A and B are shown apart, each in its own frame.
Chain A
């Protein structure tokens, strides 16, 4: 049988959990049934033992309660400083998480795991609960020892409340207890405990004497002790089961139970969830809490709908998977879900309706029990409603009651009746009364279709009255002679109601389906846009726009800069999410890879919710969401949708990162090729003039005296010429390097073109050798905003080309015209013109003709282009009217907007 084989996924997750645990710190819990059993004492004693064995044990926080024994045990152990938290004028000593993290002991003692930090205090605690502090310590690889009482376990919370009559506000998720590496039960018989109480050895707050006395009744103590013992046994059994599963020879790979807990807006749901948790623990089963949304639920108040957030959060904190499903009726939706997920047990609240109402509309529990196939239905009896920990709030007001009375619709219903009556009056002479009814029935059906439930009922009643009054004998009275018509009235009323209800339900379904479709479409729209985006900033902007639209919120994306610090990805200001302290939240999120902020367990006081982007290995950033309507973001399914959005963005960012890497690799490969070509080219172009210089110099040295003056001057001249050529080549190479290695800083100034042309022309003049340069610049040219020396270099390079590639006697013309925000400069000559593909001239190492006697690497034009593009202009090459070369480039005449 397939089920008998170990599920590879499960084994894998088991192995992963092991891995995580090996890196995490170990949690040791000293567990007791009650205050006063000696947990803290036992913990300190164990700590002293460990200390004397040489371990680095420190006390993070221990509540001494003024007990002498405890104080004595604490002596000699290092105590971390506590944090003074001020809250409404009162200062309280709290555990200092950061101090512990900074100290990094191997074991830290933190008393009272269920303690709640003062959320509103100054300085603000990072987590609202101490167990969250402990989790962070564990995650940092520090072992933690702590204490807890049975009544503080979340799943036993209501049971304890039933036993003792007092509900604990401070609870710890069972997950923490179940995942603890060691749980040590500190057991003390009830009699001994009472003796200690009488001896004054148990700390009691002064103001709660009466309550405490009630709490410390012997019956209570016995029950709590039993509960604690049982919980410990459960844990031991679970551990042995887990070890069995890890052991491949174990026999039963029995199909595990899968429990479904059905909840709704009713106050009993919370209790049902806890019951589900206990059952799931007992059966070691997976469990899912389902919230069923039916059309009827849409009519609930905002507050009641908000309660769903609380319920599902409770379920998640107890370790359940949560799902919201919808359907026409709760029972249908549950049945379908239970069958597809192969659920073995369904837990529902006990039926609340009784008598004729139960018979008319069976409750979900009854319906499920009747139709269950392949699973058991467990019903949970209702408890006292006041016991609910989630405050139900004031008596809920039905939403429809608050809706404005829809006068128009009732008016329309009235009009429909009038129309029916008029039509019926017209038909009266020709039709039987029974057929006349059909006209009214049509009116009711139409009202039901278009006007909603109330108006259609109204319409049915009116129609019945009108029919009776005008047509049923005796006419013009409401008296009815024939009893048969009562049936007609009844049918009309029922049909009106049925159609209206059906229509309302259909409309609701359509709306739900429409909303879901819209969500899917939005997600798709974002993915598609992200797929087309380039660069992280653009992606962030896209995500922000979509998230803001879908979740009705302000959003921001924070990406780490090269130094690892988070920075907003875009310039659009969303001030709230960037406030200093919130950047710290975002930093925490990216460091820990967990969400934080509003509506989460970590730093819930923040105004925004922060989700990490990317996966464990690569944390790519944080998305911050500042909701305008909390429910639009914090409902679990909305949160999951938001996570999906974040996931999409994460994938896109990862893609961008990979693309950047690939681009960098490509560039480095390209620059490698460039470098090689450059080296080859330079070595040729350097060696040639060097050979001339060395040759000329050695000739002068050897035969200087024998040479006539003209010859030696010629040699010296060629040395100078070649040296100058080399110098130019080297500055070209250096300039190219400067432009290749990133954007050079331009020293932009207002310059007049004639000034620049004059400088370039004077530089070229000594080498013109019979060639002529005409400048034809209009007097009123606008000034250009450029880096003078670079533009002179462009001009010089172009003139050098002119000198190099044209025969003596050629003329060049420099002219310019203003062109919008640019100056269009043209240099053309009547020489032989440009060979080959003019556009390729600007590529590196292109020369018009294959290398010959003319020196120069062909870098000149590509440098020209780089310079002009850096200025926001460009250069092109072509032919002059006379067939010569023509270069045209643009220079900006407007300062760029600052």
Chain B
């Protein structure tokens, strides 16, 4: 049974989360402030943390940074802040995912499960990634599955590989551009957009409704492989 630490100052939301997570058979530890959450995190060593950014004593981003300094525990931000700058700040501090309030219970639970799955597979990323009927073999740098003649250009493969190594997490577009195209191109995302479109044409069953290669608006992309 996984243990989840909820850092949230609003009692009503804590109540909802407790009921929701308990119904999914998670154990829950609650903290109403960043200071409390840091203590609970050290003493209980939770398997996942859900963190609100607007905590009374300290900003959630601060808490994330502190926890991240000693623990790789998956952290999901649950915040009413919707603008990209806040999201990026949280992700940069080390958060794995970002869910905005008001949230749908289904979506939050799906993200929690995905994050736990990722951390369960350990620090070494999976050697193969399954996207429907296509399997990406990261070790051999090969694609298998149907249709059999899928061919990726070197750039497309590098983008896919980058996303696959961080499967399930948001990869910021600036980082993708930097790592694939080099630091000089950081401001021009046009090549990346075209590359993503081509990847979708080749990998997605319905490229107009991407299922695996998901756009995180204003942030970047996330590869959501089949479990």
Q: Which residues of A contact B (CB under 8 A)?
A: 720, 723-724, 727, 731, 747, 749-752, 754-755, 757-759, 761-762, 765, 775, 783, 787-789, 792
B169-219 residues at the A interface, CB under 8 angstroms: 173, 188-190, 193-194, 196-197, 207-210, 215, 217-218
A789 engages B217 (CB within 8 Å): yes
Q: Which residues from A are CB-within-8-Å of B215?
A: 755, 758-759
Q: Which residues from A are CB-within-8-Å of B207?
A: 754
8 A-B contact pairs sorted by A residue (CB < 8 Å)? A747-B84, A752-B194, A754-B207, A754-B208, A759-B215, A775-B208, A783-B190, A788-B218
Q: Which residues from A are CB-within-8-Å of B190?
A: 750, 783
B193 engages A783 (CB within 8 Å): yes
Q: Which residues from A are CB-within-8-Å of B193?
A: 750-752, 755, 783
Q: Which residues from B are CB-within-8-Å of A723?
A: 102
* Alpha-carbon gap, A720 to B209, bound state (A): 25
Quote the shortest CB–CB distance from B155 to chain A (angstroms): 16
> Does B82 sit within 8 A of A, measured CB to CB?
yes
A761 engages B197 (CB within 8 Å): no
Q: Which residues from A are CB-within-8-Å of B188?
A: 750
Q: Which residues from B are CB-within-8-Å of A792?
A: 217
Q: Which of B189, B197, B217 meets A754, CB within 8 Å?
A: B197
* Alpha-carbon gap, A720 to B215, bound state (A): 25
Q: Which residues from B are CB-within-8-Å of A727?
A: 102
* Alpha-carbon gap, A783 to B173, bound state (A): 15
* Alpha-carbon gap, A196 to B86, bound state (A): 87
Residue of A nearest to B85 (CB): A747
Q: Which of A752, A761, A783 meets B208, CB within 8 Å?
A: A761
B209 engages A762 (CB within 8 Å): yes
Residue of A nearest to B189 (CB): A750
Given A750-B193, A751-B189, A754-B197, the answer on whether A788 and B217 have CB atoms closer than 8 Å is yes
* Alpha-carbon gap, A755 to B104, bound state (A): 23
Residue in A724, A752, A787 with the greatest tally of chain B CB atoms within 10 Å: A752
Q: Which residues from B are CB-within-8-Å of A750?
A: 188-190, 193
Residue of B nearest to A738 (CB): B83
B208 engages A789 (CB within 8 Å): no
Residue of B nearest to A760 (CB): B217
Q: Total interface residues on B, using CB and 8 Å?
A: 19
Q: Which residues from A are CB-within-8-Å of B82?
A: 731
A755 engages B196 (CB within 8 Å): yes
Q: Which residues from B are CB-within-8-Å of A751?
A: 189, 193
Q: Which residues from B are CB-within-8-Å of A759?
A: 215, 217
Q: Which residues from A are CB-within-8-Å of B218?
A: 747, 749, 787-789
Residue in B82, B189, B194, B217 with the greatest tally of chain A CB atoms within 10 Å: B217
Residue of A nearest to B211 (CB): A762
Residue of A nearest to B191 (CB): A750
* Alpha-carbon gap, A89 to B173, bound state (A): 66
Q: Which 8 A-B pairs have the closest CB atoms?
A: A750-B190, A752-B193, A750-B189, A783-B190, A789-B218, A727-B102, A789-B217, A788-B218
Quote the shortest CB–CB distance from A44 to chain B (angstroms): 68
Residue of B nearest to A773 (CB): B208
Chain A residues touching B, majority SS: helix
* Alpha-carbon gap, A792 to B209, bound state (A): 15
Q: Which residues from B are CB-within-8-Å of A762?
A: 209
Q: Which residues from B are CB-within-8-Å of A765?
A: 209
Quote the shortest CB–CB distance from A22 to chain B (angstroms): 58
Q: Which residues from B are CB-within-8-Å of A747?
A: 84, 218
Quote the shortest CB–CB distance from B219 to chain A (angstroms): 9
* Alpha-carbon gap, A750 to B207, bound state (A): 20
Given A759-B215, A788-B218, the answer on whether A752 and B197 have CB atoms closer than 8 Å is yes
Given A724-B102, A755-B193, A783-B193, the answer on whether A749 and B173 have CB atoms closer than 8 Å is yes
Quote the shortest CB–CB distance from A788 to chain B (angstroms): 5
Q: Which residues from B are CB-within-8-Å of A755?
A: 193, 196-197, 215
* Alpha-carbon gap, A683 to B209, bound state (A): 37
A761 engages B102 (CB within 8 Å): no
Residue of A nearest to B101 (CB): A727
Residue of B nearest to A757 (CB): B208
* Alpha-carbon gap, A792 to B218, bound state (A): 10
Residue of B nearest to A792 (CB): B217
Quote the shortest CB–CB distance from B168 to chain A (angstroms): 18
* Alpha-carbon gap, A765 to B206, bound state (A): 14
- Having A751-B193, A755-B196, A761-B208, one finds 6 other A-B pairs with CB under 8 Å, namely A750-B189, A755-B215, A757-B208, A758-B209, A762-B209, A788-B217
* Alpha-carbon gap, A638 to B209, bound state (A): 75
* Alpha-carbon gap, A28 to B215, bound state (A): 83
Residue of A nearest to B221 (CB): A755
Quote the shortest CB–CB distance from A410 to chain B (angstroms): 74
* Alpha-carbon gap, A747 to B210, bound state (A): 24
Residue in B84, B196, B208 with the greatest tally of chain A CB atoms within 10 Å: B208
* Alpha-carbon gap, A724 to B107, bound state (A): 14
Q: Which residues from A are CB-within-8-Å of B208?
A: 754, 757-758, 761, 775
B63-104 residues at the A interface, CB under 8 angstroms: 82, 84, 102, 104
* Alpha-carbon gap, A783 to B192, bound state (A): 11
Quote the shortest CB–CB distance from A351 to chain B (angstroms): 84
Residue of A nearest to B197 (CB): A752
* Alpha-carbon gap, A788 to B209, bound state (A): 17
* Alpha-carbon gap, A747 to B189, bound state (A): 13
B130-168 residues at the A interface, CB under 8 angstroms: none
Q: Which residues from B are CB-within-8-Å of A752?
A: 193-194, 196-197
Residue of B nearest to A781 (CB): B197
Residue in A720, A727, A754, A792 with the greatest tally of chain B CB atoms within 10 Å: A754
Q: Which residues from B are CB-within-8-Å of A749?
A: 173, 189, 218
* Alpha-carbon gap, A788 to B217, bound state (A): 7
Q: Which residues from B are CB-within-8-Å of A731?
A: 82
Quote the shortest CB–CB distance from A743 to chain B (angstroms): 16
Residue of B nearest to A785 (CB): B190
Residue of A nearest to B105 (CB): A720
Q: Which residues from A are CB-within-8-Å of B189?
A: 749-751
Q: Which residues from A are CB-within-8-Å of B104?
A: 720
* Alpha-carbon gap, A757 to B193, bound state (A): 13
* Alpha-carbon gap, A720 to B102, bound state (A): 10
* Alpha-carbon gap, A754 to B215, bound state (A): 11
* Alpha-carbon gap, A385 to B209, bound state (A): 101
* Alpha-carbon gap, A752 to B82, bound state (A): 22
Residue of B nearest to A752 (CB): B193
* Alpha-carbon gap, A754 to B102, bound state (A): 27
Q: Which residues from A are CB-within-8-Å of B209?
A: 758, 761-762, 765
Residue of A nearest to B83 (CB): A789
Q: Which residues from B are CB-within-8-Å of A720?
A: 104
Residue of B nearest to A749 (CB): B189
* Alpha-carbon gap, A757 to B84, bound state (A): 19
* Alpha-carbon gap, A749 to B189, bound state (A): 7
Residue of A nearest to B198 (CB): A779
Q: Which residues from B are CB-within-8-Å of A783?
A: 190, 193-194
* Alpha-carbon gap, A394 to B225, bound state (A): 98
Quote the shortest CB–CB distance from B179 to chain A (angstroms): 17
Quote the shortest CB–CB distance from A789 to chain B (angstroms): 5
Quote the shortest CB–CB distance from B163 to chain A (angstroms): 15
Quote the shortest CB–CB distance from A141 to chain B (angstroms): 52
* Alpha-carbon gap, A268 to B135, bound state (A): 109
Residue of B nearest to A780 (CB): B194
* Alpha-carbon gap, A724 to B103, bound state (A): 9
* Alpha-carbon gap, A752 to B189, bound state (A): 10
* Alpha-carbon gap, A796 to B84, bound state (A): 18
* Alpha-carbon gap, A848 to B176, bound state (A): 44
Quote the shortest CB–CB distance from A490 to chain B (angstroms): 92
Residue in A731, A749, A765 with the greatest tally of chain B CB atoms within 10 Å: A749
Q: Which residues from A are CB-within-8-Å of B173?
A: 749
* Alpha-carbon gap, A326 to B44, bound state (A): 101
Quote the shortest CB–CB distance from A783 to chain B (angstroms): 5
Residue of B nearest to A734 (CB): B82
Quote the shortest CB–CB distance from B186 to chain A (angstroms): 11
* Alpha-carbon gap, A226 to B189, bound state (A): 92
* Alpha-carbon gap, A792 to B217, bound state (A): 8
Quote the shortest CB–CB distance from B214 to chain A (angstroms): 9
